[in-house]
Amino acid sequence: MSDTTATAVDPALGPDLTPARLAPYIQHTKIDPDATRDAMVAHAREAVTHGFNAAMVPASWIPVVAAELSGTGVEVASALDFPTVGVMTSAGKAAEAAEIARLGATQLDIGVQVGWLKSGRYDDFREDIAGVVRAFGGPVKVMLELPLLTDAEKDAAVDLAMEAGVAFLKNASSGQIETANPSSVRYLVERARDGVRVKASGAIKTYPQAVELLRAGAALLGTSAGLAIITDTGDASTVSY
């Protein structure tokens, strides 16, 4: 474990965490491949109306969403080397990160080279992430795909990602890899150095589940079920992130 650790639980959570109070911790996600311009505009406006932390959208829709969110205080987030992680070259990933920043994104989630890590290519694994951090210039979150790693590989991945300068550690890229759970969140929180926070993602569908993850120490939640969570309807059959 590192010498210093991130704050485990946001003191602002308090004992009375009603559904609506979860909105500032949620990155409202829409990555549907058939989403239209109207749908993306509506998504951005939902993020503003309900006070979500960010609107997470594909890079191709950043200009539209960024225009809608300008001056609102809601972040513009996007993802890179996703949904199939670890398939881009490091140079290509860095170039795309720079373009995503230019288009107006203020936060970026990225896939990592799991195969390189498992092959012992630690320096390459670290530099792949560091290149994105340098090119993007804003907070970068790494999707570590924890269920695919051994315990030793998990420890190495976390340490290498932090050495590369990431702002957030994530348990996984989606529910196809892992359903976000308190155990994975606590593991990342315990290993995180000061200033590095944890984002939980993967089939986060309900208000009770979201509360459990925040209580475990997650600073952000990535989900396309944000509206269901903050209204506690439990209607999240279309969760995709």
Listed in order, strand segments (DSSP E) in 33-116 are 54-56, 75-80, 107-111
Q: Is the peptide bond prior to 24 cis by the omega test (within 30 degrees of 0)?
A: no
**Structure tokens, 199:** 């984002």
Residue 223, SS3 per DSSP:
strand
Q: List the one residue out of 223, 152, 217 whose CA is nearest residue 188.
A: 217
Which of the residues 30, 141, 170, 205 is marked catalytic? 170
Query: Would you call 128 a catalytic residue per the annotation?
Result: no
Query: Would you call 123 a catalytic residue per the annotation?
Result: no
Which of the residues 30, 109, 128, 205 is marked catalytic? 109
Listed in order, strand segments (DSSP E) in 64-134 are 75-80, 107-111
Rg (CA), the chain: 17
Query: Would you call 154 a catalytic residue per the annotation?
Result: no
Which of the residues 30, 141, 154, 199 is marked catalytic? 199
Q: List the one residue out of 192, 213, 206, 202 whose CA is nearest residue 240.
A: 202
Q: How many residues does the chain have?
A: 241
Residue 65's alpha-carbon distances to 26, 28, 61, in angstroms, are 17, 12, 6
Q: Residue 91: is it exposed, middle or buried by C-beta count within 10 angstroms (0-12/13-18/19+)?
A: exposed
Which are the catalytic amino acids?
Answer: 109, 170, 199
